[in-house]
Every structure is written in C-alpha cells, then in structure tokens.
C-alpha cells in the first residue's frame, strides 16, 4: 500500500474506482466522518423537536432512542458498497437501477447535500451571531449574518476542494472538540434542568400523543437516513478486504453516539420550555431560546460549537455534492464540480435567507428528500443481499466512461425493477406525507395525523422490488459465481461493453 499523500495535496480521485494500493482509510475513519458530520448544532436542533411537539422529557427521550436505533440499523448496510466497489454509492446503484438509472441516486444525494449544507450554515451562523451579540453587543443585523454565513461557506468550500484527507483531519478534530463542548452543557444547565418536565400530554394515549411521538421518532430517524447516499463517498477509501462487520459497526455506532447532540437538544429544549417558553410559541426560535437560558460562561462554548459544527456538517455535505456532480457530468473533475456546486450553493443560501426567506420551506424540503431517499436505500440494501455482495467494477463505470452495455445495461441503461420500486414508493411517500403547518399530502390525514410516509415508502419499496425480481428475474450474468440469494435468474444475454455510438467492443 502506498503512503498517503499530505492533507494539503488536493485530492484528484473522482468516482472512478479507487486503486487498492491507495485505500488507506479504515472503519475508524468512517466512524469519525459519520459521527463528526452529525455531532453538530444542527443535530441538537433536531433533538429539540420532541419538546416542540409537546412530549415530556422522558417521552421525548424514548422517541429519540427509538428513532435513532432504527435509523442506524437502516443506514449501516450502506457502508458496504464503498469498500467493495471503490466508488460512491450513486455509482454502485448502477447495479440495481441500471447504468442510466443510477442518476436517481446522484440527484438524491445532490439535493440532500445542498439542502443540509444550507441548513448547517444557517443554524451555525445564527448561533454564532446570537452568541457574539450576547457577549459583545455587536447586534444581529443583516451584515453580521452575511459575514457569518459567508465565512462558514467559504471555509467549507476550501476544505472540500482539498478533498477526503483534509476533510478527515477536520472531522478528527471535530469529533473530540464538539463532544467536549456538548458535555460542558451538563454543568451549564444542571441547575435549571428538570427531567420531570411533563409536556402537554398527561397520559401516553390518544391520537394526538401518538402523532407527536411517532413524528418525533421519524424526525430523529431521518438524520441517519440523510447519510445513506454519502457513506460510499468516504468508505471507498477502505480496503475491499476489510471485514464487513467492522464497517457495519462503524456506521451504526457513529449514529448511536449522536445521542450526545440529540440529548443536548432535548434537554435544553425542555429548559427553554420552562424558563423561556416565548421562544417556542408560534414560529419556534430554538437558538434564541438557548441563548436566553444559557449562563454567560457558556456563550464561548456555543460559539465554538457553531464554528466546529458548521465546518463538520458542511464539509461532509458539500464534498459529496461535488463528487456526485462530477459523476453526472464526467467531463468535470471533482475539484471543478466542487467549486461549481459550492458557488451555486452559497448563492442559494443567501437568496433563500435574505431574499425569499425560505428557511422553513427548506426544512420541509429536507424532510421530503429523506422520505424519497429511504426507499432508494431499501432497493440498494436488498440488491446487495440478493447479489451476495458481488459486483462487476468495470460495468459500474460504464456511465462515467460514456460507454454502452455491460452487465448493468438491462433495458437501454435502465433496470425498471429497481427504478420502478423506487418511483412507486416515492410517489406514495409524497401522497402520505404529513408535516403539520408545512406540507400535507392528499392522503396524509388517513393515519390520524401520524406521518407514515417514511415507513410506508420503505415497506412498499421492499415488497415491490422483491416482487419485481421474482416476476421478472434478472440475467444470470449480474450475479457472482455463487449465484443469487432468494431470487431466480433468467438466461437473458448481456450486451458487451462498447464505446458510445459504436459497436466497437471495449476490453475491460
């Protein structure tokens, strides 16, 4: 194995398969990136939602643990594609959605990354400006927010341009420092925190309670799901021989550890509900409420949390954005795609915040994207299982090389078994979505106010995809030497890989 280059050397690899000799990362690095990207102020904000929905502290804690464990279990298998194929998960999805159908994964990760990059910049910038105002009296004028947002965004862009190893260094620091700063919240709020905060529901029964409980759990669950498209961005540097159990454990434990920021958000929200309830009335202002109830000595840790969290979440989001955009337009290098998408994202951040005031709408959009991403993940995970984890690395790169054919060409580059299962599930998710005061689908009220779009879409994706594989078996050639698991195969021929627009055979 080659010695890794310095972190200040700009990464040149895009979505092509990473050579085995250059894979110098390990499951611990995957843990650091996954945990670091979620161990942030934005996650703490998500942790406040059970209190915002009216749950008691212990009801909220139960919903948080439930959502986090289920989400971590769903997410962890997505860590297996990167080491096996040496590329990101969108490219790996070619095996199950087809050479052209893999665009679904690229677009989902692109939209998810831009959205969460925006949310991380907004939430961290608001916390930074608010805390500095409380300490120095600089005010909360528009110029102050412009400087905060712009500074975050540009720092994140620089890190992402340098690439994987620089991002890994940032997250190594972020994992330890952000955890320590969150832990300082224990002495900061110990005197005012009451674990007996009752919430609005005297009894754990009734449709209103269950709507709030499952709504809270699903919001927490959506955080691990949001990493599904990105695990391959980082895991592709892990050697293929690494035991699968270690990768699964790294991805799972990284999300379990986010109980720290989730717990911080839940705890501080219950303090705000008691001591500064005006910040939770109407349009909730968690950041303002947190600053109102924090002791003055904790303002500095909050500033540091805002900076570290914004860098960590922003880099893990924007890095994947550039990588995926370069996979959609192979003529763009990873660096060029990162710069292009970074500039566009920064522009959208400022337009959304100062011109159109779409911060709340972007949060809704993020929830819908996660709902669409989950069934795509189900197709990927079941596809991995039925293929027994066997893939043809050359056939996965057909789209990027502007070729035709290969094991994953299927029908004109589309595998309608996977694409169809995802599309049906995504449409159902949209119809059954129920995000109160934001977006309610035509069928969103059928479950008594409970948002069932995410579990329903995942269930439908699993049933429809396995059903399609049973009714319309895939060619024997897409499976490895051990054959398929659980499903049948067909004798359909596989078109050889050829250069686009010609019948010339391309040797692998």
pTM of this structure:
0.90
| Per-residue confidence (pLDDT) for residue 30, from 0 to 100 | 95
508 band by pLDDT with thresholds 50, 70 and 90: very low
Burial of residue 150 (CB within 10 Å: 0-12, 13-18, 19+) is: middle
360 band by pLDDT with thresholds 50, 70 and 90: low
340: pLDDT strictly greater than 90? no
376: pLDDT strictly greater than 90? yes
363: pLDDT strictly greater than 80? no
The values of phi and psi at residue 499, to 5°, are -65, 145
Helix, strand and coil content of the chain, in percent to the nearest 5, comes to 65, 5, 30
121 band by pLDDT with thresholds 50, 70 and 90: confident
504 band by pLDDT with thresholds 50, 70 and 90: low
192 three-class SS: coil
Pair of tokens at residue 385:
């299982």
Distance of alpha carbon 379 from alpha carbon 464, whole angstroms: 9
What radius of gyration, in Å, describes the C-alpha atoms of the chain? 23
How many angstroms separate the Cα of 304 from the Cα of each of 41, 143, 144, 182, 316?
10, 20, 17, 10, 18
The values of phi and psi at residue 474, to 5°, are -80, 160
**How confident is the model over 398-454, as pLDDT tens digits?**
998 888 999 999 999 999 999 999 999 999 999 998 876 678 889 988 887 788 899
| Per-residue confidence (pLDDT) for residue 351, from 0 to 100 | 85
- All domains of the chain in start order, with CATH: 20-360 (1.10.4160.10)
**How confident is the model over 65-79, as pLDDT tens digits?**
999 999 999 999 999
Pair of tokens at residue 6:
């310095």
Please report, in angstroms and rounded to a whole number, the separation of the first and last CA atoms in the chain: 23
The values of phi and psi at residue 400, to 5°, are -65, -30
3: pLDDT strictly greater than 80? no
84: pLDDT strictly greater than 70? yes
Of residues 109 and 376, the one with the higher pLDDT is: 376
Share above pLDDT 70 across residues of the chain, in percent, rounded to a whole number = 95
Q: Please report how many Cα atoms fall inside a 13 Å half-sphere around the Cα of residue 506, on the Cβ side.
A: 18
Exposure string of 159-183, with b = 16+ CB inside 10 Å and e = fewer, is: bbbbbbbbbbebbeebbebbbebbe
Comparing 69-78, 155-164, 187-196, the range with the smallest average pLDDT is: 155-164
Averaged confidence pLDDT in the chain: 88
Three state DSSP letters for 37-84: HHCCHHHHHHHCHHHHCCCCHHHHHHHHHHHHHHHHHHHHHHHCHHHH
């Amino acid at each position: 194995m080659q010695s890794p280059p310095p972190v200040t050397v700009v990464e040149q690899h895009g979505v092509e398969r990473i050579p085995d000799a250059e894979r110098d990362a390990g499951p611990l690095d995957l843990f650091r990136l996954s945990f670091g990207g979620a161990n942030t102020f934005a996650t703490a904000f998500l942790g406040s939602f059970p209190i915002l929905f009216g749950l008691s502290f212990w009801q909220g804690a139960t919903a948080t643990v439930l959502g986090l464990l289920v989400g971590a279990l769903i997410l962890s298998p997505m860590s297996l594609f990167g080491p096996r194929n040496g590329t990101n998960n969108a490219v790996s999805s070619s095996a199950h959605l087809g050479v052209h159908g893999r665009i679904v994964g690229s677009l989902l990760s692109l939209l998810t990354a831009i959205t969460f990059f925006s949310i991380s910049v907004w939430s961290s910038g608001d916390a930074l400006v608010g805390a500095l105002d409380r300490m120095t009296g600089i005010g909360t004028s528009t110029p102050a927010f412009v400087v905060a947002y712009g500074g975050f965004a540009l720092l994140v862009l620089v890190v992402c341009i340098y690439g994987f190893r620089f991002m890994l260094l940032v997250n190594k620091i972020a994992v330890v420092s952000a955890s320590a700063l969150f832990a300082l919240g224990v002495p900061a709020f110990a005197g005012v925190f009451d674990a007996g905060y009752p919430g609005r529901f005297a009894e754990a029964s009734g449709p209103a309670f269950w709507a709030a409980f499952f709504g809270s759990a699903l919001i927490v669950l959506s955080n691990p799901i949001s990493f599904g498209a990105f695990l391959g961005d980082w895991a592709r540097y892990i050697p293929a021989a690494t035991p699968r159990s270690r990768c699964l454990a790294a991805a799972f434990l990284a999300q379990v550890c986010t109980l720290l920021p989730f717990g911080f958000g839940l705890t501080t929200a219950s303090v705000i509900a008691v001591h500064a309830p005006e910040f939770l009335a109407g349009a909730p202002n968690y950041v303002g409420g947190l600053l109102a109830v924090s002791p003055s000595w904790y303002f500095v840790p909050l500033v540091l949390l805002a900076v570290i969290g914004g860098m960590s979440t922003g880099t893990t989001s924007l890095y994947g954005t550039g990588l995926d955009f370069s996979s959609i337009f192979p003529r763009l290098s990873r660096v060029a795609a990162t710069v292009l998408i970074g500039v566009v994202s920064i522009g959208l951040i400022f337009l959304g915040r100062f011109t159109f005031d779409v911060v709340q709408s972007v949060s809704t959009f993020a929830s819908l994207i996660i709902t669409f991403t989950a069934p795509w993940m189900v197709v990927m995970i079941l596809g991995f299982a039925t293929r027994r984890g066997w893939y043809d690395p050359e056939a996965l790169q057909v789209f990027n090389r502007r070729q035709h054919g290969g094991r994953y060409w299927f029908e004109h580059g589309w595998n309608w078994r996977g694409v169809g299962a995802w599309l049906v599930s995504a449409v159902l998710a949209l119809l059954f979505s129920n995000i109160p005061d934001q977006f309610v689908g035509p069928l969103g009220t059928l479950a008594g106010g409970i948002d069932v779009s995410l579990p329903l879409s995942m269930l439908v994706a699993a049933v429809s995809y396995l059903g399609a594989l049973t009714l319309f078996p895939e060619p024997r050639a897409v499976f490895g030497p051990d054959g398929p698991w659980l499903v049948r195969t067909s004798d359909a021929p596989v078109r050889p890989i050829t250069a686009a627009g010609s019948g010339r055979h391309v040797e692998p």
